[in-house]
Every structure is written in structure tokens, then in C-alpha cells.
A and B are shown apart, each in its own frame.
Chain A
Amino acid sequence: MDIAIYALSEYAVTMEFSVVIDGSVADLISRFNAHLLQHPFPGLQTLVPAYGSLTIVFDPLVVVQATILPGSDCLEKVSTFLKVSFNQFDQETVRKSAAVIKNIPVCYGGGYGPDLDYLASILALTTNEVVQLHSSAIYRVFMIGFVPGFAYLGGLDHRLEIARKGTPRNSVPAGSVGIAGKQTGIYSLETPGGWQIIGRTPLRMFDANRKEPVLLKAGDRVSFTTITEKEFNQYKEARCE
């Protein structure tokens, strides 16, 4: 596998595995991410997986003084370590833990999914068909980005692909489930946004004060279940809101 490694900053390098979206590459990145966390180099700070890349953030002061890392500068030291580590890391026999599918309840349409009718008419489907297609697929979390906890999901049925809104909304409520191109995703916080909104989950996707701040992480599998507005409110009440 041809992996490019480049400096993103004085304190970060990026490993570029693929320049196109590919599920098997995403799985490989997730596994290597886990491998690096178990077998870190001195000075490793944190890892940031994305669609086709893994970014490694480190403390240059520690790296440059780490004599066990061969090389003269941080880029050389870290890249050498990463290449060796990737070669040693067994891509095939890594135990493939049966991926747990996380379920997200969604109330589709109405006030929670203001673009559902529009989307159905443009795609020449009924709203029921849109909901059916969206809630019957199993998605993969490719990346968390944009804002804390915003999960980019791949695996959308091609019949649901639709362009972003011409003019983004100034405010999209937290929990909104949207579609943009080949992706679907959940707005974790109230932010401006241009995705076509088809529903909303009552779950809080991001909470800084929770032990586990996010519900979804890169590499997770996700499915959606249809709930009624009444059930949506029950979820909210159960959270004491």
C-alpha cells in the first residue's frame, strides 16, 4: 500500500492512505489508529482519523529528544516510526471485533425534517420511501468533524443522493439528520448548515460534561430507527429536559 506522509505542522504529520472514499481503507485507518494508541512513540499527543487519512499530533520537544526514534528532525523521526509501525502492524489478522451497530432513533418529516417533502419530490420518491431507504441502511462513521460530535456517515442509498441547499440555513437545531451528496449526518450542535434536513433525533450527540462526550466515533456502524413525535418527546422527557 502506497501511503504518503507529510507534515501538517511542526507538531503534526498526516498519513494519506487514499484520496477517494473507500470503506475498506476507512476500516484500515480505524485499526491502525487503535494500533498506534496501543503502541505509541514518545511524544505522541493525539490522533485524528478522517476519510482517507490519519493525522498524528505530537510534542516536537519530546520527539526531537527521543533517541529511540531514528532521524534528524521530527518529520523524519515520526515518519520513520510510522512506516515501521505500519509494516509491523498486521493488517489482516487484527482481530476484527464484530462491529456493534449503534442505533439512532429519528423522528422523520414535519417540523423536525423540513426538507423531507422537497427531497422526496426532487428524487421522485414518496416521503415514506425516503424514510424507508434512509432507515434501512447500515452506515459507517467515516469522520467526526465540522463541530464537536458531528458524524459524517457513508453508505447512503444512491437513490437518496441530493445536493446541499443553495443557501445554507443560519441555524440548524441540534439532532437534525441531514443529507448532502453521498453523505448523511447528524448535527450535534445548533449551527448554521446547508444539508437537506429530513428528521431529528432526540439523542444528545455531543455533551462536553458527559463521561463519553460523543455518541459516535470514526469507525462505528450506525442505523436509524423511525420514531413518532410522541416517542421523540418521551426521549426528551426521559432526559429531564
Chain B
Amino acid sequence: MRIKFVKPGLLTTIQDQGRWNYLALGVPVSGAMDALAANMASIVLGNEKGSAVLEFTYAGACFETETAILMAYAGGGAVMRINDRDLPILRPVYVPAGALVTLIKSPEGCRTYMAVAGGWNIPVVLGSRSTYLPARFGGYQGRAIQAGDVIGAVRNFSDSTRQILKSLQGNLLKFTSWSMAAQQFLPANRFQIRVVPGREFTWFEGGSLVSFLTKPYTLDLRSDRMGYQLNGTQMLRSVKKELLSTATLPGTIQVTGDGRLVILMVDGQTTGGYPRIAHVAMVDLPLCGQLKPGDQIQFSEISAVEAEILWLDRSYQLQKLEIALTNKLNNRDNLWR
């Protein structure tokens, strides 16, 4: 299975579950900004969770299928279209060779994830296939996808993938009658971001903390895979101590010298010396991955224990989905419709 890019779009990269074992060397986690959507695209195809996917930023990309492919996509950055036909999300789609797939604007989010049966065949660098652009390694030759690039899939399918492929393959564009029931993962308000107070939470004035947890904040144009700068009420310090640089992670919310909030994202630096007012609950980090400059968000506080329970619950739900796919393919339906 192989595709060739006609137009790369604004920023298209290969990502996976991230590069976790080199933080001590200053190598960021990287990986999909919306890891939930990336995982769902993989799971629905019977791929391993965390296998390599394409991360598209907004619409505009266009690729041709050089061979027939079995694919799935998720995330709210764009709708995939062949001629006038929109491809359904969260559903295995069989696309015959020679089709032109275009990403069309969607009002929903920012990033779209595309998985292919077996996962994209990309060399592993430092334990991951994720692209880390600032140091130009990982992914497709350490860079973003360009027009003319050809990428193919790993020829090693799971039993589920083989079953899906068998049911769809032929000369026509086809998709399964069922799709993943993903509503359970989508909150009523995707601009409400739950946070857990950080180590230096109490270094800020009471009024600032009230603003932090009640007032809206807007993503600045200076927002990318490394982090988001937020515009909104300035945070005033009551404790003016210096902080020794220490580890930071995706989701860490720092306050810079001018009182501005910064959310570190997946390509964010591994250490930092700014006070950490809070961190984004892991379960809501995928929501952050879909934000774009100009989006307005609001933080709400939860406890560390609550955040952990939510995260564990999310992990179990994803495990259940994987099991449910096998059941579905063997006509033991439950989570799929």
C-alpha cells in the first residue's frame, strides 16, 4: 500500500506515540498532538495503538493512491474527499489505486490523523517514528512531507486488519457499515480544559489564580507543536523566588517573566525554569492538540487524583475498543455500531 503526495498541505508529518526514553538527553517526546485521534485511527483498522500515522495540519493536502490502500482517519482538522465523495471518519475505508484524496476544510479542529493498514513504514529513530523538526530527525527523512514524497505501509497485518481488508477489497471505493462509537471520548465543550494545580501554583496572587480558573484565554499566533502562548489576564507573582530549571512535560503550563501563560506541547523543551502554575489533565491534552491560534479556552480545576482516575478510565476504554473490534469482526457486537 503506497501513496504519493501531490500537495503537502501546511504541515504534514509522520507521528506515533512519541519518543519517551531520551528526555534525559534533552530529546522531546514529540508524537501526535491529538494522541487520542491518532490512536483511534489506528485501532479502527486493527493496527497497534501508537503505530505511525500521518498528522495533517488544517486542510490543503492532496495525495494519490499508487496502489489500493486500506485506511482510516480521525481528528477534526479536515474532511477527506475523493471527487465529490466525503470519506467517513473513524471507519476503515478501502481506496482503490489511482484515486486522488483531498483534505477539505473543516470548521472543527486543526489536526487530522490518517492510519494505513499495518502502519506507515518509516524507520525508527531513538525508539520512535515521530518527526522532530527542530533537530531534523525521525519521520520521513527528518522533515515535513513535500510534494512528490511517496510513503508506504508495513506489510504486516493483524488478524483484524486482514479480516477488514478481505471484506472490502475490490476495484471500488468501499467502507465498512460500522464505525467506531467515539462519542464517549468527546466532551460537551472541547474548549474547556481541565487542569491540575502545579508545584508553583501558590506563587501567584489570589486574584490571578481566580482569573486563571475563570477567565477565557486565547491562543496566540505563536503557537505550534512546541507550545501555545496564551493571551488573557496576566498572572501576578506573590512569591518572587527563582526556580532552578527542572523537567517539564507536554501539558505543563508555565508562566513566563511577563506573566503570560504558556502550555508546553509535544515538541516542547524537556526542562524549564519558569514557575509551573498547573498542568493540563492528560485526558484533555488531545483537546489541546486540536486548538488553533485564535481559539478561546477556559481552564477548570480538578484534583490530581481525579485526573489520574480519568486517565486510567480513558486507557481502559481504549483497551475495550481494541477488544470490541475483534468481537465485532466475529459478530459479537457491543461498542461498535
Contact = CB atoms under 8 A, between A and B. Distances in A.
A3 interface: no
Interface stretch (A100-108, A127-135, A159-167, A213-221): A213-221
B157 interface: no
- Interface residue tally on A, bucketed by range: 35 or more
Contacts of B26: 144-150, 188, 206, 214
Contact of B134 (A57, A60, A189): A189
Interface in A146-185: 146-150, 152
A64 B312 contact: yes
Which secondary structure dominates where chain B touches chain A? mixed
B238 to A, nearest CB: 17
Most B-side CB within 10 Å, residue of A18, A75, A146: A146
B287 to A, nearest CB: 15
B196 interface: yes
B247 A55 contact: yes
Nearest to A21: B244
- Interface residue tally on B, bucketed by range: 35 or more
Contacts of B142: 208
Interface of A: 6-12, 14, 16, 18-21, 45-53, 55, 57, 60-61, 64, 73-75, 143-150, 152, 188-189, 191, 206, 208-209, 213-214, 217-218
Which are the 3 A-B pairs with shortest beta-carbon distances?
A: A145-B271, A55-B247, A208-B137
Interface of B: 20-28, 125-126, 134-135, 137-138, 142, 196, 199, 241, 244-249, 251-252, 269-272, 276, 279, 281-282, 304-305, 307-308, 311-312, 315
Given A49-B24, A148-B26, A214-B26, 5 more contacts: A7-B196, A19-B244, A75-B304, A145-B270, A147-B269
19 contacts: A8-B247, A8-B249, A9-B251, A9-B282, A10-B282, A50-B245, A51-B244, A52-B244, A52-B246, A53-B244, A143-B271, A145-B26, A145-B245, A145-B272, A147-B134, A189-B134, A206-B25, A213-B25, A213-B27
